[in-house]
A and B are shown apart, each in its own frame.
Chain A
Amino acid sequence: MIGMIFRNALILVLLAAMSLPAHAQLVSTGDALALEAGQLEQRVEAFLLRDDVAAELAQYGISHEKAMARVANLSAAELEQVAGRIGEMPAAGDGVVVIAGVVFIVLIILEVVGVTDIFKAR
């Protein structure tokens, strides 16, 4: 009980610490959704990931300034999704896939004999 009160107080401190636009006193729709899902705390924490995600993005050839501007457009849920994982996320780029037929067959065999699990697709 005390812990819950303390946690809620912490959320408030974190909410206050975030640099929000002028109308910070209104509860946002994002907060309302998070509240319904019982995830207001995660949401507040996700916003604190912004600097980390920007720093991570800056490792992939984007200036720090531009990275900061880009992460400012990410929602809390999106920040949470990519934080610490940018290098592992699908980053689609090359539409022209040059792959030899033999290599493809070998890959299919590898997947079939259980190295990976392509046929577990629903």
Chain B
Amino acid sequence: MTSASSVGVVALAALMLLAGGCATYDAQIPDSLAPRVDLAETPFHPQLENHCGPAALTTVLEASGASPEYDAVAERVYVPDLEGSLQVEMMAGARSFDRIPFRVPGELSAVLAEVEAGHPVLILQNLRVRSLPAWHYAVVVGYDRADGEILMRSGTERMQETPVSTWMRQWDWASRWAVVVLAPGELPAQPDRTAVFRALADFDETARAESRLRAWTAAGERWPEAALVHMGAGNAQYELGRHEAAVAAYRRALNNSPEHWPARLNLAQVLLELGRPCEGRRVLEAGTMPFDHPLVETHGRLSIELDDSCTTIGDPGSE
């Protein structure tokens, strides 16, 4: 066999495999969703060179009701010498505009369910192949089941219509990264508890207390049986100076999960600050912390402080 013909064979095999490979991405738009959605009011920011990150992030921020300056977004997420934007900074950038980025599960149905609920979805795509990737951020704003197309704000195109199989490949080759950016107090259409808790805990690290309270309150309505949602609300209430509300929230957390030491320690701490150290001491004594618990030192320090204060003022609650 000549080398020319062997190249031909390889090319033919490649094309056949390509056809087979593409079949893997022959995804269907689920029948459970509306036949067509177009979030036409989603703003559009045609990207400048290499600026798909800031453009896409500005788009989803505005769609969530924020009004960021494009340049301020670029200042937070564009990395000049990488000629692009990193995923973690896209998340952090959203948070710095008082919005919460939630990861969407890596399924087409999950992405389109968000779109159907009115949430444009920020996605990462690989427009080339895995060995030589071309990364790109775009915003999914709709789909059309009859035409089998995904509608996006992308690059310099206000309306890009991509066949769903191509879209799936480009998304899959970028590890199926998808994010909705929402105002505090809103949750994704199909909220995944783990993803929401992760997003809110990350939001807690830098966000304003009012926004954090709104976010945890919404999560508390969705998962009232969880301890973390009440603890998160308690921490925000405390920071807003509403110590009594914080105490009530921590008690709700402990009612759900008596073993939740973060909530128990925070409750005792706030009671100490409220001048009720003996009550705080009883809260700590109501649980038995394992000696190898990572928070054992915090527990010890707080116990001593509560003991000292309680002894000083006397325990009005004891006989």
Contact = CB atoms under 8 A, between A and B. Distances in A.
A25 B80 contact: no
A92 B262 contact: no
B92 interface: yes
Interface residues on A, range: 35 or more
Interface in B65-119: 75-76, 79-89, 91-93, 95-96
A2 B124 CA distance: 47
Interface of A: 1, 4-5, 8-9, 11-12, 23, 25-33, 35, 40-41, 57, 59-62, 66, 70, 72-78, 81-82, 86-87, 89-97, 99, 104-105, 107-113, 115-119, 121-122
B260 interface: yes
B26 interface: no
Interface string B192-224: 000001101110111000000000100000000
Contact of B135 (A9, A74, A93): A93
B167 interface: no
Interface of B: 10-11, 13-14, 17-18, 20-21, 24-25, 47, 49-53, 75-76, 79-89, 91-93, 95-96, 124-138, 154-156, 169, 172-174, 197-198, 200-202, 204-206, 216, 228, 231-232, 235, 238-239, 260-263, 265-266, 269-270, 292-298
Contact of A90 (B10, B87, B266): B87
B70 to A, nearest CB: 15
A112 B96 contact: no
A73 B96 contact: yes
B129 A116 contact: yes
